[in-house]
Amino acid sequence: MTNARGILFLAGDGIGPEIMGEVRRIADWYAAQGLPLEIEEDLVGGSSIDRHGTPLTDAVLEKAKRIGVVMFGAVGGPKWDELPFHLKPEQGLLRLRKELGLFANLRPAMVFPALAEASSLKRELVDGLDILILRELTGGVYFGEPRGIEDLPDGEQRAVDTQVYTTPEIRRIARVAFDLARKRRNKVTSVEKANVMYTGVLWRRTVQQVHDSEFPDVELNHMYADNCGMQLVRQPKQFDVIVTDNLFGDLLSDVAAMLTGSLGMLPSASLGAPDALGRRKALYEPVHGSAPDIAGKGVANPLACILSFAMLLRYSFDLPLEADRLEQAVARVLAEGYRTPDIWSEGTIRVGTEEMGRRVLAALASLPR
């Protein structure tokens, strides 16, 4: 099939396989509806370590590059905690991000009306919340050299991580931020620590330059990362798009996730630069981790993973209406009162992973098309 659309499913560890099973069910439904999907599955993280001795084999990496679109579950767990750093499950994910060039990580934090009560903040602070955290994903302290732990002559040790950013890296993520803002509420908040870090100084200056020369119509403000963390829990609706570096983006997106009522609700898309045909390599994953404590119990919330698949439909397959429908289906199931334990509250109906997935699919199938 010439127009087949490939996806590589990497379920990973912990609750990964359970939540990805529900995405698979939805993807198979789309295939039955005539979407020419070609899905391959493979190992990543701890499950790859157990089978192949490495969190990501070269063969799986090549497969990801060839297919170009990855649907990712979660990696990691106590079983692999004692491994040397470069062999840990997380390295599989980091290598995929780096090798596929996925520099732009979109982490939307939206509050579904039915879930405003589940937020740790008061309803009026989060009702209708719709912000987008754009995290730089292939630079900064996650990959900067030198890094490591060395022995000192006096028997002590010394650890080094390096935060490094170049102007092209900052410019390309800034452009994505301004582009996204134009399709939303036209406002960008750029976040760094220009008061203590040189990378912050360069970040602020470069984002401002990109703004002034290419996107003067977009509203831009700058904020220190600590203040941004505080503002997110004080008055989250002041934000539209937040653009920030790899580490601050990691922290702030967890904070934003909690505003939505549960980490189990937050999807993400990681995109590369467009190729000559305008196609971007991409990886879609829930922001939450592998939750080893509840793995295998059938209680994990599959919604962040399902919403990540909606992002896949939107950004990789250019099917915005289908993405909207899938999001509507999730909203409907929540409005009907169905909740996995992480978002359950008095008066709502407690369901497990599989029932939640089936309900979303039933809602999706019943939407007019």
Q: Which residues bind ligand IPM (CB under 6 A)?
A: 90, 93-94, 250, 287, 289
Concatenated DSSP letters of 77-119:
-GGGTTS-GGGSHHHHHHHHHHHTT--EEEEEEE--GGGGGGS
50 is catalytic: no
| Residue 22, binding choice from Mg ion, ligand IPM, none, Cβ under 5 to 8 Å by partner class | none
Using alpha carbons, select from 143, 37, 151 the residue that is nearest to residue 96. Answer: 143
Per-residue tokens: 133 = 């955290």
Give the shortest CB-265-to-ligand IPM separation in angstroms: 15
Concatenated DSSP letters of 138-153:
SSGGGTEEEEEEEE-T
Which CB, 102 or 334, lies closer to ligand IPM? 102
Say which residue the tokens 């754009």 belong to.
Answer: 134
Bridge-based pairing state of the strands 219-224 and 187-192: parallel
Give the shortest CB-148-to-Mg ion separation in angstroms: 22
| Residue 93, binding choice from Mg ion, ligand IPM, none, Cβ under 5 to 8 Å by partner class | ligand IPM
284 is catalytic: no
Which CB, 285 or 322, lies closer to Mg ion? 285
Catalytic residue among 142, 165, 284, 315: 142
Catalytic residue among 245, 250, 338, 342: 250
Give the shortest CB-71-to-ligand IPM separation in angstroms: 15
Which CB, 7 or 93, lies closer to ligand IPM? 93
Give the shortest CB-151-to-ligand IPM separation in angstroms: 26
Q: Do 356 and 301 contact (CB within 8 A), yes or no?
A: yes
Which CB, 176 or 256, lies closer to Mg ion? 256
58 is catalytic: no
193 is catalytic: yes
Give the shortest CB-90-to-ligand IPM separation in angstroms: 4
Q: For residues 227-256, which are near Mg ion according to CB under 5 A?
A: 250
Taking CB under 5 A as the rule, does residue 136 contact Mg ion? no
Which CB, 80 or 215, lies closer to ligand IPM? 80
Give the shortest CB-107-to-ligand IPM separation in angstroms: 8
Nearest residue to Mg ion, scored by beta-carbon proximity: 250
Concatenated DSSP letters of 235-299:
-GGG-SEEEE-HHHHHHHHHHHHHHTT-GGG-EEEEE----TTS---EEEEESS---GGGTTTT-
CA–CA dist 270, 12 (Å, integer): 17
Q: Do 306 and 26 contact (CB within 8 A), yes or no?
A: yes
Catalytic residue among 42, 179, 254, 324: 254
Peptide bond into 368 cis (omega under 30): no
| Residue 90, binding choice from ligand IPM, Mg ion, none, Cβ under 5 to 8 Å by partner class | ligand IPM
122 is catalytic: no
CA–CA dist 149, 23 (Å, integer): 40
Which CB, 64 or 252, lies closer to Mg ion? 252
Using alpha carbons, select from 172, 213, 175, 221 the residue that is nearest to residue 194. Answer: 221
Nearest residue to ligand IPM, scored by beta-carbon proximity: 90
CA 41 to chain centre: 20
Q: Which residues are catalytic?
A: 142, 193, 226, 250, 254
Binding site for Mg ion (CB under 5 A): 250
